[in-house]
Structure formats: structure tokens, C-alpha cells
Structure 1
Amino acid sequence: MATIEEALNTALGLHQSGQLPQAETIYRRILEVQPQHASTLHLLGAACLQQRRATDAIGFLEQAVALTPENAEGFDNLGGAYQAAERWQDSIPAFRHALQLDPANAKFHFDLGNTFKALGQQQEAIECFESAVRLNPKFLQAINNLGTTLTAVGRLDDAIATLRSALALKPDYANAQNGLGNALLDAGQGAEAIRWLKSAVALKPNEAKFHCNLGVAQKATGDPDGAYQSYQAALQLQPNMLEARKNLANLFLSQQRTSEAIREFEAAVKLAPNDAELLTSLADGYRNLEDFEEARALYANAAELEPDDGWLKLKEAFLCRGVFESEDDIHTFRNRLLQQLQVAQPGTLAHINVEFKGLMPPFGLTYHGLDDRPVKESLASLFTGSFPTASPPRGAASEKAKIGFVVTNGHQGIFLRCMAGIVDRLNRDEFEVWIVAPAVAANAIREGLTNPQTQVLELPDRYYRMVNPLRRQQFDLLYHWECGTDLLNYFLPFARLATVQCTGWGLPVTSGIPAMDFYLSNKLVELPDASAHYSEQLYLADTFLTWQEPVRIPSPLKSRAELGYRDDQHLYVCAQNLMKLHPNFDEILREILQRDSAATIVLVEAKIPALTDRLRARFENTLAGAADRVQFRPRMDFDEYLSLLSIADVALDPLYYGSGITAYEIFSCGTPLVTLPTKFRRGRFVAACYQKMGVTDCVATDEGNYVEIACRLAESPSHRAAVSASIEAHRGELFCEDAAVTEFERALNAMLKSVEPQ
């Protein structure tokens, strides 16, 4: 009969050759004879761990270290078993005990670092990995993990240098290539990031997480098709890969493919039903489709999973319908929201959670015709303490002021349409001009500008990755093109990324953000008391701070017959976002339909079907039986849209939030646009355009006068022709205005001077 030593050697041989079940059988037989044989307990624990039976491994290893408390490797293996069972806290004393016995063991430091990394204790993890590398400078895994953890805490220069050092030791080390690609992406070096991530995938084509990381980089650098393919590759390798499923959903969201995004989020929730971030993302998708009942339930579920998180509890209060039934409903919603904001104490918002838990003012507020400053300031006050208040250090003294235009993805087209002419013409002897944007927007703006002296800072596409690269540039002034049309452009100003921050044309309403210093407007659109409605200092230029090129009108235009209308119909076209149609505007439409029996009101369907359906239902109640004379046209291409504007008898400007860029299109077609200027800038732009043109025929004094002007234009071809001729004769005042450039430069200098030492 074999001795215990002989049996143990046989088992060990099987163990080392990978025959784990056979080795385990012999280990167990030894323990039947000698239950406290420490070496066998240790080896059996290791064999169980290698077979992914962490609970069994822990039991045997705990017995082994109790019998041999001087065995450092035994404690390290016990810590590894706790890690495998995700008992992270229990692993810490086991690893620390191993280090007390053998403090010069690099692996023990490395293993403890991995526990801290899993717990999110990044600084402790960094210290452990640094110790491991100091003890063993060629410990590749430790160098790699040190680099990836430095990336996680935003020490990107150190991370990149560390990961490059790993690749100097082993150029084909795929993990380090993957880590370096991720770090470079966070540092805004997207092209090089893609090269390293593709190399990692080539070295390890069956590593799903490498495909997933490549997809993240491809999305961030403006290659959505490549990102889709990479996420699909990851999911083919690992169908239940949660991260790939989430990333695919977010890709669809960025492409406004909301239904597909919801499908992917729902698949992800099945994999992780208790993930509050996933539930919140799914709720956001339903919110975007205006399915508030489903969104409300999901927000509630997420809040239940994290009951101490005040941000998640507030999400439901921000569900703002795009179309309200009545003005009373609008007041009810706003009052409730303001009350909740005034008593909320949600705590500090971590930068990494901005896209998950961050709240921005509901975009629908802007359409309500009310003063948004109280709501926006109340919301902004919740973030006190979450963001720095000091400006970044000033750069070296220069004769030129360093100016950046901040544009987030999805808003580059309208930025170019409104600002390209100014950006191209700014005096480069006086200003160093930059575009600051994530890759998708940056690439489009590069192509749309003509001045080669304009520089581009390409940002990562996540908030926590954006802030440091932007801060390091030490801008004198940042012009935030829009502030509140997405979470990124809302939260970037809070980080105080330049000595002076301003906003203006992109969103015609105050930001409410304390770190936003100026709002750029003009004397044509603002009433004398306008500054009371802005949290920023209001700067009033003498003209519109935009450069508009004349709109190209297609030839030939489509005729009425080709668009489906009869010659005897009077077409009142309101080709606006349906969210602009305030309930009070219904009375104007009702009176037009009652007065003009040939009237047809022409609207354009919303991108979100629920908005169109809700407005149709409202009209059934408010238009006194004439709702059938309101047509909702399907969305159309730009040439057909211009044809529609051109055949209209009259265009209608909504109340409270009227035409902006659409006004230039309407005037380019020569079509009369009836407007009633209201209290705030967003309801006064068309009247200001008419003021610049010296044409007053279409500017109403009250709602009754609005109806009278509109109906006369529709019913009298000669009057309409005269007004159109006047518009065509004077619309040149609105386009290619050199004064806009001069006034913008004057505004920049005034804002910069305001922070100079007196």
C-alpha cells in the first residue's frame, strides 16, 4: 500500500498535468486517513479553485492556513478563493497576512491590488501595483493593472507611460495594447487608440472584451458602423456580455434609434435585473418616446435598488410632456417640479455618474412661455459642492486670447449653420480660435469651416473623460454653443473650464448655472427688463450674433398639385417642432379655421409619434369641430420642405417660442410669416427680423390682430404678393452680415476685459 507521501506525489503529478478530478480523488482519500494533513488541504483547495468551485476551495484552504499559520502562499491562495467567490472584503486580511509573512513577494501585492481594484478603492490598488512592480520590474500583469487603474483615476499621462513600458518589455502583450488603447481614448487621442485596440483584437480575436472596447472607441471617434460590428462580434463570442449589450443600446440611442435601444436595454436588464444604472437607461429610453408610465415605473425600481440615492428619486419629477392639454397643466407641472427642487437634498454628484444620475432642466420648459430662471437656478443649486468653483490656471501671457467654441455631438449641423461664418472671420491677430468637440461633431465642423487657422480639440465622448483635457488647455473664454440640450453640454459649464464662460444663440433661454458668466443676446429681441430673466450677466449686441447664408431654393419647386393640395385651398403652414404649439395657440388656430372656410392648417409630424397623437387628440377638444382641417404632413426631405414653404399662402409663427432658423428659410422663400411678439427672447425673434428688414405688415399686436393679418394674407392674393415682394426686397439685411462678426469680437473683448485686474 502506498504511503501518504507517495499518494500525495501521485496526486500532485496529476494536478500539475491538468488532471484535476483524478488528483482531487486522491487528495480526498488522503484526508480520509489524515484529515489534518495541511499540504493536502492546501492542494485540494487549489484544485477546487481551479475547477471554479470557490466555496469548496475556501473550506479546505481555511483549514490549511489554520494548521500552518506561517504558510504565506496558503494565505495568498485563500485570498484568491475569496476573490473567486466575490467575498472581496474577506480577501483583504488573507492577503495582508500573506504580506506580513513575506513582504517582498510581488505577487501578494498584486493580488491585494486586484481586490482593491474590484472594490473601487483605486488609490489603494495603485499603491499595491506600484509595490509589485518595484519588487519585480518585469511583472507584466502588475504593470498592466497599474496602467489600467491609473486610467480609471484620470492620471492619463502616467497610465500611458506605464502601459507603454509593459509593451517595451513584450510588444505583443495584448492586454497592455488594449489598456493603452483605452487610456489614449480617454486622453482624446482617438486615432492612436483605435490602432492599439485593433492590434489587441488581432492578437486575441476570441477576447470579447477587446471587441467591446474597440467598439467604444469607434463610437467615440465617429465610426458608428464599426462600433456596431465590434459589439456584434463581442456578443457572438459572449452572448450574455452585459457591457456589450449596454454599449450597443447606447449606440442606438446616439443614432436616435430609440426603439432598438430599448430592445437592447431590456435584454441587458434580463441579465442584470438589479442594476440600477441599466434600469435608469431603459427608463430614459421610454422617456424619449414619451412613454412616461413605463419610464416612471422603471425610475421607481431603480430608486428602490439604491434607496439612499437622492438623484434617482428625483428622476420621475423631470418627466415633462412635450404636448400639454392646457396652460393649467403646464403650471401644475412646473409648480410641482419647483417645489421638489426646493426641498431636495440629493448629495454630491460624482463626475463619473453624470450621464447616469445627472439631471438637466426638462427641455420642454422652454416652450411654456414662462420665466425659466427660478426652476433652472433651483436645479443648479443642487450641484453646489459637486464641481470646482475656481477657474483653471491662466496660461502663459499671450497677445492673443484663447477662445473655444464647445459643441457636443448631434448639434454640429446647427452650429455650422449659425456660426461658421463668424468663426471663419474672427480676427486671428487678436484671437486664437478653437473648436472643442467630441469626435463626431469635431469631424463635421472641420469639414464645414474654411479658415485653416482654426484649431480643433477633439474630446472623448464621456463627461468624466472630457473635463481634464479641456481644463489643461487653459482657455481664456469658452462659448458653450448650447447649454441644456444634452447632459454633456449642460454639465460642462459647471466644471468651470475657462476664466470666462458664456452662451447665447444656441438655446434662447438662461442656463441658470452659476459658473456661466455671460449670456450673449441683442437689443433687437430683448425687452428693457430682460436681465431679470437671466442668471448670467446679459450682454446686448447691436445685431444678431449669427452668420446666415441665403438658403438655396431648389428649381423647380414642387407644385401644389404635386404636394397634394388644390388651388382653392388656403394653406396656413406652421412647419415647427410640435412642442412649440402651446395650448394657448389653439385659440388662434380655431379662429382662423372659423373665419376662413377654405383654410387648411398644415403641420409636420413629430419624430416621436406620441407627440403627434397627443396634439391630434387635443385639437379634437379645442378646435370646435374643425380638427379635420388640420393636416399633419409626414416628415420630408429639405427640398420638399422648401417647396411646402413656397406654396404656403401664409406661415404661422407659434406663440412664446417662435421661429429661429426656420424664419430664415421662410423668408428665403418669400412667404409672409405672421408673428405675435411675446415677453421673452424666444418669442420675439421674428418680430426682430422684421424690424431689421423694415417690414411691419406681419407683426401682430394681439391674438385677434394675428388672426386678422393671417386671414387677409391668405384671402387676398394681391396683398400677399405685395408683402412677399417687400420681404424679398429687404431680406438681404438678415444674411451675411459683417456687423455680426464685428459685434461678436466686441462681445469677446468686453467679456475678457471684465476679468482683467483693475
Structure 2
Amino acid sequence: MASYQNLIELHQANAEVYYNLSQCYRNLNLQNEYFQTLKQGIQHYPTDGRLHFTLIIDLRRNGRTQEAIDHADKACECLPHDYTFQILKYLTVPTIYHNLEEITFYRQRYTQGLQSLIAETSLNTTEEKQNALAGISRLTNFYLSYQAQNDIDLQRQYGKLVHEIMAANFPQWVVPVSMPKLQPHEKIRIGYVSHYLHSYSGTLWLTGWLKYCNRQNFEIYCYYTGNEPDAVTEKFQEYSDIFHHIPYNLPAVCEQIRADNLHILVYPEIGMNPQTMSMATLRLAPVQCTAWGHPVTTGLSTIDYFLSSELMEAENAQEHYSEKLIRLPNIGVSYPKPYIPPVCKTRADFGLSDDDVLYLCCQAPFKYLPQYDSILAEIAYRVPQAKFIFLRGTLLQERLQRAFAALGLEYRDYCVFLSIPERLDYLMINLLSDVYLDTFTWSGGNTTLEAIACNLPIVTCPGEFMRGRHSDSFLKMLGVTDTIAKDEAEYIEIAVKLGLDANWRGEISERMSQLHDRLFDDKFCVAGLEAFYKQVIENISI
């Protein structure tokens, strides 16, 4: 840091120096200095895209949405041909909403911005095509779906735009692909492609589909496009007949998929990684599917089926999907039972008291919408010993302060914000907590499954869309449904009763512990998946 600061004082700094100094401040969690250094760098080097991009993304990540949009506007002036900043200018939505009105405001802004972006996108020259490709290769519209509304129309519009950009750059990969004729005794070739074939919440469940695959009928191809291999990557490799690791090279992975002549290609998630989103707009196999690693419709005409769960979907669920919805048996995935270590820490190790009633609130902050903040305050009002344990929730403090103050409570007396860098500590917090409070509209996935493995009672209330019904489906499959609420009022009642009645809490926990085999490592859903694969092949062959 001293070296970088010295270069700046001597007026010998370039854009790289400002960027590197900003990262030093970021690593030390000195947020004001971090942002200030990026802004200073931009003043001196207004055409440096990396400085602009880093500033805008992290302003949004830290809840400073309007500031991020203002800087995206400025970046568009400095770099008028950089499509990245046009996307950020028009399509930025908050990671955290301060109130309900903001959701309406930013959704309208996104809707209008998308129309403007589409109207202003030109793909007539080679340079325009390449600039647009570079832009969509850096960003997705991931945060839109956390507004808890039906996104099908907006997803279709955005998907069509990405498809047109990809088609302009890769016309050879948008033409239809004919289904390979299945010869006698030949296996059906199924491909799975993801940036996240490592220890990641959006794909961990996929190992079960591969592990319990019927090898007599199917040949498994995996394409790992990220580059963080770990023990889970080794599992994917072990369960694959053919495993390709092709990091950060979209043309190479597309060529490989086409060369492998697949019958069906599956994206476990679409919408979290830009390269995956871009690839999914191409036609690399005759049948293409996605699944609920990112549980929102893609809006893409190139994705034929959405592989979901009969327990997660509402009756009218097809209205939420551009793809044909496939309701696989049970929760739709074969989730490996997590290893849960014995309790080796105490509450005191985390600065918590044995007298506290610990409510675990472990979701990412963008899953917490402002209209539900008052629920925690209501629980605290009725359970004086309540402590709400947030693991990633510091951005929510301003909202929580307002919600608790409305009931005459001081939020700091009830809300605890912990930083848990190690997985062992995360599991210990689950084992030491009394109650798991699920989020409304977008419930826990991996977090809920791990809490169940820790026998932690779970309060949940199913939402309108599948993304708000994960925990509900897990508890139904487990057979412990006492803590599923029908509405917000019942959610509070259940949470309060669990907090005050240790005997009932213990009874729920004991029943959960006896029924794990119903939920984990489910082979029935894999049989349903493979029956679907066979049916698709037969229908096209006919």
C-alpha cells in the first residue's frame, strides 16, 4: 500500500496502481478508502473499463444502487462503445431493497431500461457484434428474480436479446441439430454443462443424478467450464463416462459438445454465470434442458424443458415457465446426505449464551425482502430471549433497526451478526441453534437440507413460485410438516411456540433425525428423470 500511495503522490501512478491499491483497501475491509481510490483512479483514467466496472458492481453489492447507476451513466459517457456499461446503465437493480416501494420502482425502471437497451443494440458491424458479446459475457440479470414476481415476460425479452447477440457472433451454432439415431444396444448420450462442477449450492445436488444413473442405458458427459476444482469436482469426474474441463473458453466447449453428438444437453443452472447464459441461447444438442440450480425460467427459446419437482410446483406453475415444465418425482433431485460432525464447540465460542433462544437466519441478504422484516420483531416481542443469528446480514441492519423500533425494541438486543468463514463453524452454528427461520418468497435450498441433516427445526411458509417452496417440499418429503405455515401470522405463531416450548422443539428434532432416509439420496427421482429422457428420445424418433 505504501508503495502504491507513494507512486500516486509522485504522480507516477497508472490505472493499474489505483486498481491494486483499491484491492488492498478492499481486503482490509476499508470500504470508504476502497471506493474513494477507485473514483480517484477514474478521474485520472476515465477510459479504464476495469476501474469503472469494479466500482459499479461493488457499489451495487453494498446496497448503494443509485450511486452505481449514476456511475454506470458516467461510464457510458467515457466509454460510449462499451456494451457492458449500457447493460449496467439500464438493467441494474438493487441487491437490497430498503422498502416495498423500491421493488416497484426498480422493476418499472428495469422494464423500461430493457426496452431502451434492445432499441439501442446494433449488430451491423463486426465491432458492434464483438462489443455486445463482451458485454453479455460479463453480466447476467441474476438479481431481477429476487423481486418475487413472475419474470417470464422479462426473461423472454432479455433471452431474445442475448440470443440475437450470440447468433450474430456464432451463426454456426444456432441452426437446429437433428437427433442422432439410436442404434441397437447404443446408450443415450446425456451431457451436463456448468461453470460450477465444484462445491457449489447450485450444482451439489447434481452428483446424485450421476451417481445413481443407469449405466446400461445412458452415457454421461460432463463439461466443467469453471476453474475451481475440488473434491466435488472429483465426484463429477468419477460419475462421468467422459469428463471435459474446458475453463473460460466458450468456443472450445461449444465445439466439444457438438463433436460429442449428444442426444440431450442439460444445464443444471442458467442465470448465475454469464458464459452459461450465453451458451444456453445456442443450439448445441437436439434437446436442451435446465434445472433448478437457479430456480427461475430462462425465457430462452433454445431451452426445451425445465426439470423441476412435483413437490415444489404449484398447480398453475407452467404459467411461470417459457420451457415445458417437467415435474420429476419427490424433490426432483437426489441430494447426498451431508456429513455432520459431532458438536465440538459451544455457544460461548461464538459469544452466545446458553440462555438465548437462537433463531438461525442464514440466507443471503438479497433473499430478505423488506415487507417481512416486521415478522422478526414480532417474534422478539413475544420471545424475550430471542437472538436472531445472521451470517451474511450486515446490509440489513438499517431495515431491522426500523422494524424493531416500530415495536419499541432495540434491534441490537436481538440481532447478532456473525462472520463464519469455515464450514465446520457453519455446521456448529446449525447444531447449536434452536430454530431455523426460512425466508419468504425465496426459501433455502442447500441451507435447509443441511439444517435438516443437523435436525434443526425449520419454520417455512411456501410462496407463489417454486423458488419459494424448496423448504416446504423438503419437509413434506421428510414427513415432518408441523412447522410449515400457511401464512405470515401462523409463521410467527410456530416460531414463537418453538422458541418457548423446548419439549416441542426436541420432539420435532427427534422426528427429523429418524426420517433422513426419506429425503436424502433418493433414487426414485433419478428413475423418473431417466424415464423422461427415454420418452423424449422415443417421441422425437417417432
How would you bin the TM-score normalised by the shorter chain? 0.7 to 0.9
| Equivalent in 432, 436, 450 of residue 223 of structure 2 | 436
Task: Give the drift of 1:517.
Answer: 0.9
For residues 339-358 of structure 1, what are the structure 2 equivalents within 5 Å?
Answer: 339-343=112-116, 344-345=118-119, 346-348=121-123, 350=129, 353-357=132-136
Which string of whole-angstrom CA distances, capped at 9 and with x for unpartnered residues, describes residues 614-664 of structure 1?
310111112223312111112242222222112222110110111101111
For residues 452 and 718 of structure 1, do their structure 2 counterparts lie closer, same or farther at Cα, with a shift above 3 Å needed?
Answer: closer
Q: Is the counterpart of residue 733 in structure 1 residue 510 in structure 2?
A: no
Which string of whole-angstrom CA distances, capped at 9 and with x for unpartnered residues, describes residues 593-617 of structure 1?
11112211111135xxxxx2x3101
**Counterpart amino acid of residue 616 in structure 1:** Q
Q: Is the counterpart of residue 366 in structure 1 residue 150 in structure 2?
A: no
| Equivalent in 441, 448, 457 of residue 663 of structure 1 | 448
Q: Is the counterpart of residue 541 in structure 1 residue 332 in structure 2?
A: no
**Counterpart amino acid of residue 308 in structure 2:** S
Q: Is the counterpart of residue 626 in structure 1 residue 405 in structure 2?
A: no
Task: Give the drift of 1:408.
Answer: 0.7
For residues 380 and 415 of structure 1, do their structure 2 counterparts lie closer, same or farther at Cα, with a shift above 3 Å needed?
Answer: closer
For residues 670-681 of structure 1, what are the structure 2 equivalents within 5 Å?
Answer: 670-681=455-466
For residues 515 and 369 of structure 1, do their structure 2 counterparts lie closer, same or farther at Cα, with a shift above 3 Å needed?
Answer: same
Determine helix, strand or coil for the equivalent of 1:538.
strand
In 1, the alpha carbon distance for the partners of 2:318 and 2:311 equals: 14
In 1, the alpha carbon distance for the partners of 2:503 and 2:319 equals: 44
Q: Which residue of 1 aligns with 2:398?
A: 617
For residues 551-562 of structure 1, what are the structure 2 equivalents within 5 Å?
Answer: 551-562=338-349
In 2, the alpha carbon distance for the partners of 1:507 and 1:452 equals: 22
**Counterpart amino acid of residue 448 in structure 1:** K
Count how many residue pairs are aligned between Structure 1 and Structure 2: 510
In 2, the alpha carbon distance for the partners of 1:562 and 1:274 equals: 49
In 2, the alpha carbon distance for the partners of 1:351 and 1:540 equals: 39
Q: Which residue of 2 aligns with 1:647?
A: 432
Task: Give the drift of 1:551.
Answer: 2.1
Q: TM-score scaled to structure 1, two decimals?
A: 0.61
Q: Is the counterpart of residue 635 in structure 1 residue 420 in structure 2?
A: yes
For residues 53-68 of structure 1, what are the structure 2 equivalents within 5 Å?
Answer: none
What residue ranges of structure 1 are gaps of 5+ in the alignment?
1-238, 607-611
For residues 680-695 of structure 1, what are the structure 2 equivalents within 5 Å?
Answer: 680-695=465-480
Which string of whole-angstrom CA distances, capped at 9 and with x for unpartnered residues, describes residues 732-754 of structure 1?
21111111321221232233344
**Counterpart amino acid of residue 122 in structure 2:** G
In 1, the alpha carbon distance for the partners of 2:30 and 2:333 equals: 32
Instruction: Note if contact 1:351-1:463 (Cα within 8 Å) is conserved in structure 2.
Output: no
Which string of whole-angstrom CA distances, capped at 9 and with x for unpartnered residues, describes residues 650-700 of structure 1?
110110111101111111111110111111111111111221122221011
| Equivalent in 158, 161, 167 of residue 382 of structure 1 | 161
For residues 585 and 721 of structure 1, do their structure 2 counterparts lie closer, same or farther at Cα, with a shift above 3 Å needed?
Answer: same
Instruction: Note if contact 2:60-2:94 (Cα within 8 Å) is conserved in structure 1.
Output: no
Which string of whole-angstrom CA distances, capped at 9 and with x for unpartnered residues, describes residues 142-185 of structure 1?
xxxxxxxxxxxxxxxxxxxxxxxxxxxxxxxxxxxxxxxxxxxx
In 1, the alpha carbon distance for the partners of 2:54 and 2:214 equals: 44
In 2, the alpha carbon distance for the partners of 1:372 and 1:655 equals: 17
Return the structure number with greater helix share.
1
Q: Which residue of 2 aligns with 1:475?
A: 262
Q: Which residue of 1 aligns with 2:97?
A: 324
Q: Is the counterpart of residue 702 in structure 1 residue 475 in structure 2?
A: no
In 2, the alpha carbon distance for the partners of 1:686 and 1:262 equals: 38
Max Rg structure: 1
Instruction: Note if contact 2:197-2:226 (Cα within 8 Å) is conserved in structure 1.
Output: no
Which string of whole-angstrom CA distances, capped at 9 and with x for unpartnered residues, describes residues 47-105 of structure 1?
xxxxxxxxxxxxxxxxxxxxxxxxxxxxxxxxxxxxxxxxxxxxxxxxxxxxxxxxxxx
Q: Which residue of 1 aligns with 2:73?
A: 300
**Counterpart amino acid of residue 536 in structure 1:** E
Q: Is the counterpart of residue 588 in structure 1 residue 361 in structure 2?
A: no
In 2, the alpha carbon distance for the partners of 1:582 and 1:687 equals: 19
In 1, the alpha carbon distance for the partners of 2:455 and 2:313 equals: 26
What residue ranges of structure 2 are gaps of 5+ in the alignment?
1-11
Which string of whole-angstrom CA distances, capped at 9 and with x for unpartnered residues, describes residues 552-578 of structure 1?
222233222333222222111111112
In 2, the alpha carbon distance for the partners of 1:477 and 1:508 equals: 20
Q: Which residue of 2 aligns with 1:120?
A: none
For residues 300 and 440 of structure 1, do their structure 2 counterparts lie closer, same or farther at Cα, with a shift above 3 Å needed?
Answer: same
Instruction: Note if contact 1:287-1:295 (Cα within 8 Å) is conserved in structure 2.
Output: yes
In 1, the alpha carbon distance for the partners of 2:60 and 2:257 equals: 31
Determine helix, strand or coil for the equivalent of 2:420.
coil
For residues 305 and 323 of structure 1, do their structure 2 counterparts lie closer, same or farther at Cα, with a shift above 3 Å needed?
Answer: closer
Question: Matched residues, percent identical?
Answer: 25
Determine helix, strand or coil for the equivalent of 1:557.
coil
Instruction: Note if contact 1:442-1:458 (Cα within 8 Å) is conserved in structure 2.
Output: no
Which string of whole-angstrom CA distances, capped at 9 and with x for unpartnered residues, describes residues 570-596 of structure 1?
111111112111112212112101111
For residues 557 and 287 of structure 1, do their structure 2 counterparts lie closer, same or farther at Cα, with a shift above 3 Å needed?
Answer: same
Which string of whole-angstrom CA distances, capped at 9 and with x for unpartnered residues, describes residues 480-537 of structure 1?
1211112111111112211111111311111111111110011111111000000111
Deviates most, 453-462 or 441-450? 441-450
| Equivalent in 682, 701, 723 of residue 508 of structure 2 | 723
**Counterpart amino acid of residue 704 in structure 1:** A
In 1, the alpha carbon distance for the partners of 2:537 and 2:42 equals: 49
Q: Which residue of 2 aligns with 1:159?
A: none
Instruction: Note if contact 2:440-2:461 (Cα within 8 Å) is conserved in structure 1.
Output: yes
Q: Is the counterpart of residue 338 in structure 1 residue 111 in structure 2?
A: yes
For residues 461 and 601 of structure 1, do their structure 2 counterparts lie closer, same or farther at Cα, with a shift above 3 Å needed?
Answer: same
In 2, the alpha carbon distance for the partners of 1:683 and 1:323 equals: 18
Which string of whole-angstrom CA distances, capped at 9 and with x for unpartnered residues, describes residues 205-251 of structure 1?
xxxxxxxxxxxxxxxxxxxxxxxxxxxxxxxxxx9999x999999x9
Q: TM-score scaled to structure 2, two decimals?
A: 0.84
Instruction: Note if contact 1:435-1:456 (Cα within 8 Å) is conserved in structure 2.
Output: yes
Instruction: Note if contact 1:403-1:434 (Cα within 8 Å) is conserved in structure 2.
Output: yes
In 2, the alpha carbon distance for the partners of 1:464 and 1:331 equals: 39
Task: Give the drift of 1:405.
Answer: 0.8
In 2, the alpha carbon distance for the partners of 1:684 and 1:669 equals: 20
Task: Give the drift of 1:418.
Answer: 1.1
In 2, the alpha carbon distance for the partners of 1:470 and 1:258 equals: 45
For residues 487 and 704 of structure 1, do their structure 2 counterparts lie closer, same or farther at Cα, with a shift above 3 Å needed?
Answer: same
For residues 69-218 of structure 1, what are the structure 2 equivalents within 5 Å?
Answer: none
Determine helix, strand or coil for the equivalent of 1:712.
helix
Alignment root-mean-square deviation, CA: 3.5
In 2, the alpha carbon distance for the partners of 1:353 and 1:593 equals: 50
In 1, the alpha carbon distance for the partners of 2:397 and 2:138 equals: 30
Deviates most, 743-752 or 652-661? 743-752
In 1, the alpha carbon distance for the partners of 2:314 and 2:41 equals: 51
Q: Which residue of 2 aligns with 1:526?
A: 313
For residues 310 and 645 of structure 1, do their structure 2 counterparts lie closer, same or farther at Cα, with a shift above 3 Å needed?
Answer: closer
Instruction: Note if contact 2:281-2:300 (Cα within 8 Å) is conserved in structure 1.
Output: yes
Instruction: Note if contact 1:360-1:484 (Cα within 8 Å) is conserved in structure 2.
Output: no
For residues 591 and 695 of structure 1, do their structure 2 counterparts lie closer, same or farther at Cα, with a shift above 3 Å needed?
Answer: same
**Counterpart amino acid of residue 337 in structure 1:** Y
In 1, the alpha carbon distance for the partners of 2:72 and 2:132 equals: 16
| Equivalent in 211, 219, 222 of residue 424 of structure 1 | 211
Determine helix, strand or coil for the equivalent of 1:532.
helix
Determine helix, strand or coil for the equivalent of 2:227.
helix
Determine helix, strand or coil for the equivalent of 1:385.
helix
Instruction: Note if contact 1:315-1:359 (Cα within 8 Å) is conserved in structure 2.
Output: no
Determine helix, strand or coil for the equivalent of 2:497.
helix
In 1, the alpha carbon distance for the partners of 2:538 and 2:48 equals: 49
